[in-house]
């Protein structure tokens, strides 16, 4: 693979744009390879109908769409939860808004352009947070983890889904050259450092695929 191809792919893995490489990443990674990770993260969150839920780095909106089903049930009177998403790519914001136009119109989904280092939400807002394959792109891992802890409610849980082997492989191939750290152990230690409890990782099997899920709880007093 040529250096110029690797360079553009690395840029668009971090922040997908509107050109060919943005399209390639969206189609072949976000809408194909990452779909199982997105939907499994949502299932592992165990979302209840009244929960406020945040996805960080939502891409084209597959995870937001899956999460929204848990807070949209006309048969229930307590179905007042809401799904929020934040991403810093204009292209991903546009795609997700198109995918979720009805849910946004109905007030069940709120999509914002923004950065994990400066979340536009009040303290203690979310019952659940999830993200897939994105922590290594945060400019400051500790600051991002601290911000997520800030906006999460007491007894909230965060779920991170990743493929450890794939991350190691693409790191070696320099596709994560615009990331910070791809080390999941460092990520887990950072979660503990900013206050998360019960940080753990386990293998998950879903739709014939095996990957990893990291869990972190909030125990604010």
Residues 25/208/204/149 CA torsion (nearest 10 deg) = 30
182-203 burial, b if ≥16 CB within 10 A, otherwise e? bbbeebbebbeebebeebebee
Contacts of 114 (CB under 8 A, 6+ apart): 86, 87, 88, 120
Alpha-carbon gap, residue 77 to 196, rounded angstroms = 32
Residue pLDDT, tens place only, 190-209 = 999 999 999 999 999 998 88
Alpha-carbon gap, residue 158 to 136, rounded angstroms = 16
The model's pTM is 0.91
Handedness of CA 102, 106, 112, 117 (dihedral sign): negative
Alpha-carbon gap, residue 95 to 202, rounded angstroms = 31
Which CATH number among 3.40.50.150, 3.40.1010.20, 3.30.565.10, 3.30.870.10 corresponds to the domain 18-218?
3.40.50.150
Contacts of 43 (CB under 8 A, 6+ apart): 206
Residue 21's pLDDT band, with cuts at 50, 70 and 90, is low
Assigned token pair, 35: 């779909």
Within 10 A of 20 (CB to CB), how many other CB atoms are there?
A: 10
Q: Where are the domains of the chain?
A: 18-218
Residue pLDDT, tens place only, 59-116 = 999 999 999 999 987 555 567 899 999 999 999 999 999 999 999 999 999 999 999 9
């Amino acid at each position: 693979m040529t250096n110029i191809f690797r360079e553009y792919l690395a840029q668009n893995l971090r922040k997908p744009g509107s050109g060919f490489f943005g399209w390639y990443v969206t189609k072949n990674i976000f809408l194909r390879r990452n779909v199982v990770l997105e939907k499994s993260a949502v299932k592992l969150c165990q979302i209840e109908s009244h929960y406020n839920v945040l996805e960080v780095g939502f891409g084209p909106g597959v995870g937001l769409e899956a999460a929204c089903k848990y807070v949209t049930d006309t048969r229930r009177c307590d179905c007042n939860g809401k799904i929020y998403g934040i991403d810093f790519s204009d292209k991903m914001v546009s795609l997700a808004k198109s995918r979720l136009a009805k849910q946004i119109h109905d007030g069940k989904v709120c999509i914002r352009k923004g950065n994990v280092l400066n979340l536009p939400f009040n303290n203690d807002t979310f019952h659940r947070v999830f993200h897939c394959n994105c922590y290594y792109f945060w400019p400051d891992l500790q600051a991002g983890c601290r911000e997520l802890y800030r906006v999460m409610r007491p007894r909230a849980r965060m779920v991170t889904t990743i493929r450890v082997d794939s991350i190691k492989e693409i790191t070696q191939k320099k596709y994560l050259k615009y990331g910070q750290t791809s080390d999941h152990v460092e990520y887990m230690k950072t979660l503990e450092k900013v206050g998360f409890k019960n940080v753990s990782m386990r293998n998950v099997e879903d739709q014939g695929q095996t990957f990893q899920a990291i869990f972190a709880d909030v125990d604010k007093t």
